[in-house]
Structure 1
């Protein structure tokens, strides 16, 4: 089958990898000059398979007023006149209950564990370790650090439930937390405890996309068309038959749209309206100087919703979920918050470096209200979607590609594909 994929972020590139391995002719079309140049470029770097609970949860709505009044809060909201924003917000509010959150978490965990298995199979390949210089993949584990006793006790109560879903975790007190990750010694007195998950991983998402491109380039039947803008979808009767680009039309038996939030205007002329909204996130990348005590385990500051991941010889710091317009223009105040928090937690790790030296970045995470991505064929024949992974694109990409490839081949997916079909437009 001839398959055209829109978007060369981590979701598009893993889809191309999986489908090419199934023997399909695959063409990837990307407006940037290389893969992983947008939302996948400088994300948090954590492959956080055990922490996939959706943003919509039973306690979220009560926290929103306080977040909106705090300049440094994990979330910001700027209302617009766009009815799509309000449609998304209403659906998000309806999903903020315990039963919906628990159901979504179970579905996401099944997909994330499948994704973990596929990622392990990938990194075990000799060519994957060699091509493109790798992507600083490491199974470093993860610590969710709590400063509030009530929040920590709540997390401890969830351990048995998480274990029933396949998570392997343990609760640590203050001393055990600092003993495991000495770089946290500077905030020792503020730590109540932490939840440790040894199996969590890290990697450079952009370099992962580049590695996939290296492996795919030159393979018979695979074409990577970078620097090419998709201007529309070609439709004949009741099905999509290809792409219209600024370099000419591309014929295809099936089209997969994996272009993140940019997929919304592309799909609109066909009457396909996926319920997506961009959650704007920020990161900084801190070079780790010789002799500085930097964390080796991934750390999530639960109170501030900021993640710290050691990727090679850098520390990636990421956070925020801003429901705003304005594209990827960097709000320097938000990026500076990451600098301030990093210095408060790890002291000298970023000492003397100004904001520009820390490579501030912003990306638009394409999120569904429920947190469940859309994986499958739309109501228009030949038009497939692999969209809406929010902040979990890197974590879920391999599993999503596996589900998509199975559905396109008529195979029964390892996880229940219907779990991710409800939101399909």
Structure 2
């Protein structure tokens, strides 16, 4: 069998690697000039296996007015004459219910724990190098209300197999002294010792290195896919910027680029870009003033992760702001909030980045056989959890494609 995978980000490369482990010949097509050059390039880097609760939460209704009125809000919304935007938002708001959150959390945990197990197996077998850290994660709260809600969520996830600790302010500072600038504003934190972090781009490159030289693996950069070639109901080939490429099966794993391709076949996937930003700061001489544990500043929606000798900081959700430009005012506000928590960091030395996270309203990715055409598969819509869910999604898709037992109930994720 020959499988053509569209997209060389973390979803596409994980899918390719999993299929190669099962003896399948793969060709990866990437529109850009490098591996993981899009959303996978410099996102947060946290492997949040135990923290996959959806964005669609009842608390959104309470926070939304405040977020929309604040200049330095973690969320910005710009309405557009775009039916896709409003379809996505309406479905998102419909899903902001406690019963939906509980059900979605349980479903997502099965996929995230599978992903964790697959990645650990790959690390043990192949020695992947991607600045991997097993240093745990702290979700830090400045307000009592969100902290109490987090206690409830931690209990829900404990019932589903997660191991998390609820820490009061003094315990947080004892565990992570670098957070002392919060002072009396610190109400507490949820600590998950098992969480991990890593550089997504380096992970993709490491997978490529493992497969490089394999006669049944091919990566074609600068190969934008423009359309599909059909034979009856089946996809026979893709038309690229360098001509047609035929295969037995095709996987659409191109982030936001997946939407346009599926629309050509009559699909209307509810995947919308949530624009985010990051800073990557070299840690030369700064190790004592930055967190050793991965940290999420909950109210500010900023994540901090050590990736080798780099501190990665990622933040914000902009809805209705396309393109990869980095607005100076948005970045200035981001840096100011970072400096309030970790004073004195030389953020002028940090590399800035913007990316478009392809998200579904429910937060659940779309993984499985497409209903739009034969021999077509989808692995897309992972939002901010692409790295966390990539290996599990690859395992589910590969099992379905090859007719093997699927390791989890994948019904919640099927197209």
Q: Equivalences for 1:89-104 in 2 at 5 Å?
A: 89-104=89-104
Q: TM-score, normalised by structure 2?
A: 0.97
Quick one: distance in 2 between partners of 1:63 and 1:186? 24
Shift of 1:331: 1.9
Shift of 1:180: 0.7
Q: C-alpha offsets along residues 186-218 of structure 1, whole Å, 9 cap, x if unaligned?
A: 223221111110000000000001101111111
Quick one: distance in 2 between partners of 1:332 and 1:358? 14
Quick one: distance in 1 between partners of 2:251 and 2:26? 10
The question of whether the paired residues in 1 share the 8 Å contact of 2:275 and 2:322 is answered with no
Quick one: distance in 2 between partners of 1:300 and 1:325? 24
The question of whether the paired residues in 2 share the 8 Å contact of 1:8 and 1:35 is answered with yes
Q: Could you list the runs of 5+ residues in structure 1 that have no partner in the other structure?
A: none
Q: Equivalences for 1:136-285 in 2 at 5 Å?
A: 136-285=131-280
Quick one: distance in 2 between partners of 1:322 and 1:239? 37
Q: TM-score, normalised by structure 1?
A: 0.95
The residue that corresponds to 2:356 in the other structure is 364
Q: Structure 1 residue aligned with 2:405, among 398, 407, 412?
A: 412
Secondary structure, aligned partner of 2:163: coil
Quick one: distance in 2 between partners of 1:120 and 1:336? 38
Quick one: distance in 2 between partners of 1:267 and 1:160? 39
The question of whether the paired residues in 2 share the 8 Å contact of 1:52 and 1:105 is answered with yes
Answering whether residue 289 of structure 2 is matched by residue 293 of structure 1, we say yes
The question of whether the paired residues in 1 share the 8 Å contact of 2:173 and 2:180 is answered with yes
Answering whether residue 374 of structure 2 is matched by residue 378 of structure 1, we say no
Query: Which stretch has the larger CA shift, 292-301 or 362-371?
Result: 292-301
Q: C-alpha offsets along residues 292-322 of structure 1, whole Å, 9 cap, x if unaligned?
A: 4211100011111111111111111111111
Secondary structure, aligned partner of 1:158: helix
Q: Could you list the runs of 5+ residues in structure 2 that have no partner in the other structure?
A: none
Q: Structure 2 residue aligned with 1:401, among 390, 394, 401?
A: 394
The residue that corresponds to 1:70 in the other structure is 70
Answering whether residue 39 of structure 2 is matched by residue 39 of structure 1, we say yes
The residue that corresponds to 2:57 in the other structure is 57
Quick one: distance in 2 between partners of 1:256 and 1:140? 34
Secondary structure, aligned partner of 2:276: strand
Q: Structure 2 residue aligned with 1:345, among 337, 341, 344?
A: 341
Shift of 1:289: 3.2
Secondary structure, aligned partner of 2:32: coil
Secondary structure, aligned partner of 2:207: helix
Q: Equivalences for 1:6-45 in 2 at 5 Å?
A: 6-45=6-45
The residue that corresponds to 2:81 in the other structure is 81
The residue that corresponds to 1:313 in the other structure is 309
Secondary structure, aligned partner of 1:13: helix
- Between the two proteins, the alignment pairs up a number of residues equal to 413
Quick one: distance in 1 between partners of 2:19 and 2:214? 12
Quick one: distance in 1 between partners of 2:296 and 2:350? 19
Quick one: distance in 1 between partners of 2:152 and 2:219? 48
Shift of 1:390: 0.5
Quick one: distance in 2 between partners of 1:297 and 1:285? 16
Q: CA RMSD in A?
A: 1.2
Shift of 1:62: 2.8
The question of whether the paired residues in 2 share the 8 Å contact of 1:318 and 1:338 is answered with no
Secondary structure, aligned partner of 1:286: strand
Q: C-alpha offsets along residues 7-45 of structure 1, whole Å, 9 cap, x if unaligned?
A: 000000000000111111100000112211100000001
- Distance change in 2, residues 1:303/1:273 (3 Å): same
The question of whether the paired residues in 2 share the 8 Å contact of 1:261 and 1:364 is answered with yes
Quick one: distance in 2 between partners of 1:48 and 1:410? 29
The question of whether the paired residues in 1 share the 8 Å contact of 2:39 and 2:356 is answered with yes
Shift of 1:160: 2.5
Q: C-alpha offsets along residues 157-177 of structure 1, whole Å, 9 cap, x if unaligned?
A: 333322111111111111111
The residue that corresponds to 1:325 in the other structure is 321
The question of whether the paired residues in 1 share the 8 Å contact of 2:102 and 2:156 is answered with no
